[in-house]
Structure 1
Amino acid sequence: MKKIATIVCASFLLLACNAEGKQQEDAGKTVQRTVQTENLLKNLKKIHQTGFMFGHHDDPLYGIKWEGDAGRSDVKSVCGDYPAVMSFDLGHIELGNKESLDKISFDKIRTEMINQYKRGGMVSVSWHLDNPLTGGDSWDVKTPGAVTAILPGGSKHELFLTWLDRIAAFFNQLKTDDGEKVPVLFRPWHEHTGSWFWWGKNLCTPDQYKQLWQLTRSRLDEKKVDNLLYAYSPGTEGIGDVYMERYPGNEYVDLLGVDGYQFGGVAGTDNYIKTLDMMLAFMTEKGKELDKPIALTETGLEALPMSNWWTEVLLPVVEKYPVAYVLVWRNARERDNHFYAPYPGQASAADFVKFYENPKTLFSQDNLNLYK
């Protein structure tokens, strides 16, 4: 009896140890992503063999002199097709608001994300969240220390976890009528190589930035958000050490991006081309090294004063590199001359049609097969 009891106890301890080890092992794993999400990553890595996808921020939500019209898009009005990529912003979801910082209901944003998925296109998300330390917006950089405050041990850590839980709930509820989750390329903490956001270069250390990214990913994994890919998107402040200084680690990043605009109007053309060449050449090599797709995650020329910008400036530089997609910023309905895609009658509209007809540019109707 004593021997049997000893064996039973030993077996129980072994099972307990194995269970504890399995729990520790599982705790170190990221969430198992949906098949569609994994397929999207696979296809982002190889789509450059066909061409690059064109994207537009907030494309179906509003445009020049319109807002909320069903099925409308400035891009579609010009070329007859939707962008292959649509990006949206979830700023103010952290506050529990019903509308985003751009005064669009999150219900409407969710609907348009699902519509884009159903037509075979890709959805990307940025997050211009408020400053948790000051209560200001993303651009409130007068008071440093916001990142420190939301990391473990900080005065706003618990508040920030609540914010992460709210965005996690949105992603988990992003489903089609038959319950299929919509894959999303999430682009948190973008343009951090500049200092215009409270998470930017002069507002936190490289280690703090990495901790912020890792905390974000681990919390969303903990909440079983299994439909996200993650994009790392610095600005154009530099290549090499500048680009990689705050890189959170291969296990946290799925795509290498860059946000780079043509500033200075027509006069800024040469510098824009030179900068893109420098950034995309570096990203091409780094993407090969790390097995990550690359993308021009934000770009554009405000108000498009150049009638041939699409085919003579953007296309010639992008087509040289294995870029998965190029996304231009929004067409604001509330600000004059703040638009980055053409609309009917705009000076670059005819050139955009030529850009659309180029076999290397991919739009919604180009049989993208992103999720198979």
Structure 2
Amino acid sequence: MKFIHFTLFTVFILMNMTSCLDSEKAAVLKGRSLRADSLLAYLRSSSSDGYMFGHHDATLYGRERVNGEERSWTFTEGRCDVRDVCGDYPAIISFDLGHIELGDSLSLDFVPFDMIRKEMVAHYRRGGIVTASWHLNNPLSGGSSWIENDTAALNSKERTVASVLEGGSNHDKFQVWLNRLADFLNSVKTEDGEKIPILFRPWHEHTGNWFWWGASHCTPEQYVDLWKMTRKALDKSGADHLIYAYSPGMECGGDSVIYLERYPGDDLVDLLGVDAYEYLDEGMSLKDGNARYAENLNTILSMLTTVGLKHDKPVAVTEMGFEGIPYERWWTEVADSILSKHPVAYGLVWRNVKGDVTHHYAPYPGHSSVPDFIEFYNLKRTLFLKDICKK
């Protein structure tokens, strides 16, 4: 087994006292805690060793196939589909905070926020990296993040983003939502009161039109103002343990102008990402679908590498995958064949939904792609939890 000797608990601790003090001063000047600054430093350098593997909601719920029967599991301490398959946790685990803005006790995926907080801290304690997205409700209509079938929002003269910005009808309401988000993020602490570093990924996939903050629902200036307002509220709350990811969808292709059209600025963003899923058009073969996905994502990552160098930001595939993993060799022949060509910090696949036979993105016991995933796991360049921690 390969080991890259890195632990989020101890990074920089072995530096001499003068260097530690200098690092702490630098982090404070940037508005980040020393732990958050250490995480960002690792994300900048990790691609020299390979790329990390991530999975959304990996330790909250999952699936297994026993004697041909599909089963689900939920909230089983220490359990993880990826670990069940390869004996190791993902290096990165993602969690979603949708419905925290409502003051609810359960997330939009019916996970208790107390459980999400617990699992965030648990993965940090293991030596892993934690990232968070926010599929929040629509403050204008009361609907979900997804606006495509939200007739109340679509038919309103005032668009949702405009309504939450200063002067909008929902501005005060949205400030309450931002404060609830901040309260939760600031509550994610270890037993000794240390806030764990979190890579926060707000307002993602904005180049598409399915979310209320998407490209056709606000101007570039309004989108940037939304980012700035969010960051201002979180900074004001003292959330110095956060670093921030910008993650459009694949609509940009290889065009950096489109990618950066709604970029909030280097002072607000720490990591450049892209959300990139494979899908098949009707009648399309797996071979053709794989080839199209590889061509498109390679083009985007080549562009993103150039943009990252210019803006001095690490890059990552912040969401990826192929629903149901219908191609058994997808991990080595598609995912690795793409990610290994580019200096990406990580690639993260989406969740394994409980009770849904098709909506899964990582292998689980009994899945046909398990042998290929184990081969993928054993590649020197794929980094899982054991690879980024001291044994």
TM-score (norm 1): 0.90
Tell me the distance in 1 between the aligned counterparts of 2:321 and 2:110: 23
The alpha carbon displacement at 1:334 in A equals: 2.8
Tell me the distance in 2 between the aligned counterparts of 1:367 and 1:275: 29
Read off the aligned partner of 2:95 and give its amino acid letter: F
Q: Find the counterpart in structure 1 of residue 60 from structure 2.
A: 61
Retained in 2: the 8 A contact 1:30–1:218? no
Deviates more, 1:83-92 or 1:170-179: 170-179
1:165 aligned to which of 179, 185, 192:
179
Read off the aligned partner of 1:88 and give its amino acid letter: F
Tell me whether 1:243 sits opposite 2:259 in the alignment: yes
Unaligned runs of 5+ in 2: 1-27, 64-71
Tell me whether 1:283 sits opposite 2:327 in the alignment: no
1:119 aligned to which of 126, 131, 146:
126
Tell me the distance in 2 between the aligned counterparts of 1:32 and 1:278: 34
Tell me the distance in 1 between the aligned counterparts of 2:350 and 2:265: 27
Unaligned runs of 5+ in 1: 1-28
Q: Which has more radius of gyration?
A: 1
Q: CA RMSD in A?
A: 1.3
The alpha carbon displacement at 1:344 in A equals: 1.0
Read off the aligned partner of 2:88 and give its amino acid letter: D
Q: Find the counterpart in structure 2 of residue 4 from structure 1.
A: none
The alpha carbon displacement at 1:368 in A equals: 4.2
Q: Find the counterpart in structure 2 of residue 19 from structure 1.
A: none
Q: Find the counterpart in structure 2 of residue 260 from structure 1.
A: 276
Q: Find the counterpart in structure 1 of residue 115 from structure 2.
A: 108
Retained in 2: the 8 A contact 1:234–1:259? yes
Tell me the distance in 1 between the aligned counterparts of 2:55 and 2:302: 23
The alpha carbon displacement at 1:190 in A equals: 0.2
Tell me the distance in 2 between the aligned counterparts of 1:275 and 1:361: 22
1:76 aligned to which of 83, 87, 98:
83
Read off the aligned partner of 2:184 and give its amino acid letter: F
- Percent sequence identity is 52
Read off the aligned partner of 1:242 and give its amino acid letter: I
Which 4+ residue blocks in structure 1 deviate beyond 4 angstroms? none
The alpha carbon displacement at 1:30 in A equals: 8.0
Tell me the distance in 1 between the aligned counterparts of 2:145 and 2:303: 29
Tell me the distance in 2 between the aligned counterparts of 1:114 and 1:210: 31
Within 5 Å, which residues of 2 pair with 1:324-363? 324-363=345-384
Within 5 Å, which residues of 2 pair with 1:44-59? 44-59=43-58
1:273-311 CA distance string (max 9 Å, x none) = 011111100010000000000000000011111111000
Tell me the distance in 2 between the aligned counterparts of 1:233 and 1:260: 10
Tell me the distance in 1 between the aligned counterparts of 2:366 and 2:356: 18
The alpha carbon displacement at 1:180 in A equals: 1.2
Within 5 Å, which residues of 2 pair with 1:1-372? 32-64=31-63, 65-141=72-148, 142=151, 143-144=153-154, 145-238=159-252, 239-264=255-280, 266=286, 267-368=288-389
1:341-367 CA distance string (max 9 Å, x none) = 001110100000000000100011113
Tell me the distance in 1 between the aligned counterparts of 2:355 and 2:267: 40
Tell me the distance in 1 between the aligned counterparts of 2:60 and 2:321: 19
The alpha carbon displacement at 1:31 in A equals: 6.9
Tell me the distance in 1 between the aligned counterparts of 2:387 and 2:168: 48
1:212-233 CA distance string (max 9 Å, x none) = 0011001110111111000000
Query: Residue 290 of structure 2: SS of its match in structure 1?
Result: helix
Retained in 1: the 8 A contact 2:53–2:383? yes
Query: Residue 251 of structure 2: SS of its match in structure 1?
Result: coil
Q: Find the counterpart in structure 2 of residue 26 from structure 1.
A: none
Read off the aligned partner of 2:262 and give its amino acid letter: R
TM-score (norm 2): 0.86
The alpha carbon displacement at 1:270 in A equals: 1.1
Query: Residue 86 of structure 1: SS of its match in structure 2?
Result: strand
Tell me the distance in 2 between the aligned counterparts of 1:367 and 1:194: 34
Retained in 1: the 8 A contact 2:53–2:382? yes
The alpha carbon displacement at 1:335 in A equals: 2.0
Read off the aligned partner of 1:137 and give its amino acid letter: S
Tell me the distance in 1 between the aligned counterparts of 2:116 and 2:298: 34
Retained in 2: the 8 A contact 1:256–1:292? yes
